[in-house]
Structure 1
Amino acid sequence: MKKWIASTMITASLLGSTFASVEAATATYPLSVKVSVANVRQNPTMTAKVVTKLKKGTAVKAIAVSTDAKGAKWYKVVLANNKTGWMHETVVKTVASNPKTTTAVKNSQLNSEKSIAAQLSINVSVANVRQSPSTSAKVLTQLKKGTVLKAIAISADAKGAKWYKVVLANNKTGWVHETVVKASTNTSSSSDSTTSSKKTVITNMATLYSAPSLSATVVGSVQRNDQVTVLDTAIDSLFNWVKVSTSSGTVGWLPQFELNYTVPKYVYAKNTAVPLQSNPTWVDEPIQMLNINDRLLSLYSEDEWLYVETPAGVRGWVLEENVSPLAVNSLTAPTMENSGEERYLEWKKTNNFNVSYTVLSGNRLKITGAFSYADIPTFSIDGIQSIEQTDASVIVTFSPGYTFTIRNYSDRLSIKIVETGLKGKKIIVDAGHGGHDTGAIGPTGLKEKEITLNTALLLKEELEKAGAIVTLTRSTDVFLELFERTAIANNSDYDAFISIHADSYSKTSTGTTTYYNVTTNFNGPKSKTLAQYVQQSLVAQLKTPNRGYKEQAFYVNRKNELPSILVELAYVSNPNEEALLKTKAFLQKAAVGIRQGLEQYFNNF
């Protein structure tokens, strides 16, 4: 009777019935540690002292079961020194190969099937292919030695032996026993698991084992970007293994995910405070808390958990529901868009996040901002030598003779790829003031609005003779609000914006100034460069005192999305400079100076 009661209690335990929070004697049965490292505690509670730690795959014998205050089961196990300890239900699994294991557990083990993708070959003279993963199942067909098969799933029988579900020539499926197949090295692609091929380590924490098992002896380690020679392969249910030789001659086994067999798979934390666990369970305290958009290298999965590695090389487990294959903020789906003769490289933005850029030496554009990831184009682009992601930035290296205009929209980032030179460039010329807004008025009555319009008309001629395309914000004496001027720029696909003004302060004030904005203008870096070139050329033409190029928050610059500048030609309040501003010759020189500055700007990266 006692034996019957004990057997009934173990069956109930394995089927998930609720036990009282007292120790219940059971028939002995084997368990196996199913997490990387499992704590064995002195008592069946999370606050109990840890007496030892066991690695994944370690076999232990359960002799009793108990339930804690939260209803979780704990198993009393016998350790190697014949002492006992308690293990939480989330860190162990039953082993179906022991005859004392209940029927319910056996059936669940037999029916488990895990998807894989592997290539096998028959390694015996004749191999049976069966209807199900059992030696008593019906034989569907027989295959000769050397036949190559595609395995799509793996399962285990009552004895713990592996069976592979394979695709047959008629596209039907069958099962082959692990003893009749081996991992095939006869693949059509040299990048697959070919014997003696070279592979590169893509992780930071690659450990070499003496056998294809995480519980095997550690024989060494390899560093990121190390080259190894592949000697053999082995298939497992969670991931495949690769036997390798290192550059120092050490031979050992690596999980295949440590090497560049496929494109690395990254995931991103979806929320703030995502826990990174040491095991696929909530039993222990997190190793660390991840921040939103943290990038993680996905190594393999187990149930609803992913085993990942952080950029710093820390490994742990995250729940799949807490990560996403796309960063919350990322640049995705790069495409080439054509509009007439113009070509644009565009990324979609997953959100309306901030983007900024800097221009580096060597024809390089560095894109940064509030994004964690960018899809790198897999297609070639005329005018661009390379595109790479470095940390949280994208570096675009342009070919000699090419430059760019970049725009940041709410839903996309766009780079116009253009040849150097002024020809074909699109310029908006803005004559300041107009209509009832006269602007400054000189000692003899010269109005700023007249100076700016006359200069704008002359500049349009100069630029068009050089092959540029020009749009004027106004070509007559009309009034435009400041927001109307910037709207013309922001709704265009143009390359630069030039606003023309005449300065005013006192009768003795003198000189020429060019203004730009980098504080709020997305194209601040290029605006500053444009201001430098135009100021230099303008002063050289006008022979006026050089007041420099300066940062200023003028509306038409700070609210502009194009590279934009505002030029103050001279002081209309100064009688001598007012006299110059009345003459067409002076205004023509101003137009030539601005055109020359634009030529230098577009001739350089």
Structure 2
Amino acid sequence: MPRNRMVPIILCLMLIFGSLPALESVRADNGSVSITATSLNVRTGPGLSYPVTGLVKKGEKFSIVKEEGDWIQISLGGSKKGWVAQWFTAKEAAKTAVSPAVSPNAQSSGSVTVNGLRVRKGPGTNHQVIGSFNSGQAVEVLSSNGNWAEVRTKDLRGWVSKEYITMKESKTSEAPPASTKTSGTVTATSLNVREKPSLNSGKIGQLSYGAAVTVHSQSNGWAEITYSGKSAWVSAEYLKIGGKPAADSGKAPTPADQFTGTVTASQLNVRDKNSLDGSVVGSVSKGQSFKILDEQNNWVKIEFQPGKTGWAAGWFFDKKKNGPVAAPSQSVKNSSVSMLHNGTNIRKGPSTSTAVIFRANQGDSFEILSVEKDWYKIALPNGTSGFVAGWIVSVQGTAPQIERPGAEKHTKNKTIVIDPGHGGRDNGTTGVRGTLEKTLTLKTAQLLYDKLRAAGTNVILTRNNDHYISLGSRVSSSHYQNADAFISIHYDSINDRTVRGMTTYYYNSKQMPLGEQIHSSVVSKTMLKDRGTRFGDYHVIRENKQAAILLELGYLSNPAEEMLVNTNQYQEAVANGVFEGLARYFKNN
């Protein structure tokens, strides 16, 4: 080919490849993560139930595409993406051209929110503990690495979990000009106002639906406003921000008692507190209207009889302000539900006694038409509608997330230490098909961890990746955390390949009730052969001063049982069984 004809082609190639760095920089706008586990599964979706599509190694770095809960979607090159667990990564801040990244030496003040917060030599649970802080202790925040913050006091310097530090940037620069103020409107039924930009901060008041505020600044999903003449913070997620700055009157927002609510449910219980845990003190009927005296957490306080007040679920009220202007207590507009399980039943009416008219799978999404009792009425693909139980779906949008009172109320705020057996150089037993016990115990533990954490339980894993931990360290974790329950997870093996089933071990009479409740619950969920609850002389329960048990969740030496315990369905059943067993134990003790 003549040289002069090559020139335009070469120029085109230069233009194409010259643009690639720019494309990469756009992709990196969300920041990047570095893998901290030895090897980490990459999954097709944000959860342990999604299939594994590959592995990434410790130290590898990837651009963040997006985040969902405790999961991060990463770019694997080209158009390929995948999801990894956030707790096995260290996040690096996004780089922008407008403002340089904060220097590692940029300092902030912080306050510890829990007692006994461990201070470590480095940013991770694999680093040595060098001390501890107590709630309220002031610290100087030096730098951060993923979910860890480097802090110091006059006596100690080290790394702590960011989750237990309330941080406030040091005021080293001039205050922003007044022109940066913007107006905001509250979009939630009732919005908590806090002293600081943290859920751990004290609540100083509430704003009602439609309240106007002036937003002075925003930081990490929080908006700074003026409340009762003082600086305060609210979640920016529930503000519609924009328009001209609102005048700062310094006054509290319009009180909730300027609203009237009309009952939309056929019959609605009134309780003595704003929770399903409250005792029923009366009831109201569809069409009745009441002056709303107060609102908290989607519940409204009403005078349901002369001289008698109580709380009712706010999403069953059609709320109006000053008569004509409607402000729904809980809008379902532009809201949808997402299925949490395969084979979810969609029924003809809002009750389990009605016929199943459709079945949906995990991840399927449907528009919410209305809320009836504890059920969502949803639009189906064929143009009809059906009902799905509110406690088995997740909600996107402004509709309320219905939670059925059950096991979670007994495990909430309890401290549970979950101990995945073996790890690192200690493989445990190996199944006839090659399953490593250490891998399976970690998988089970992580599922249980997610379930308990979602229910408001304080959960600690003795290990969260494939590394060796001594038996003494496992027990020390139980004592240090003052655990309400310690559960060591294992899988069994024996020379006789026909032996199968589940066994639960305890060492003393104090541990026996916990073992019996969890054992019976897991057996009923998994339908595994019941080998009983019995005495066992194992270090992690013998030396443990807390309520502690050891579970043997099936035999890897039995080929059929090895296949069963590796399935997602079995793992979910075990997690559900342990969760419900814990709830029964705490309910009775």
TM norm. shorter chain > 0.5 = no
Q: TM-score, normalised by structure 2?
A: 0.30
TM-score (norm 1): 0.29
| Bigger CA radius of gyration | 1
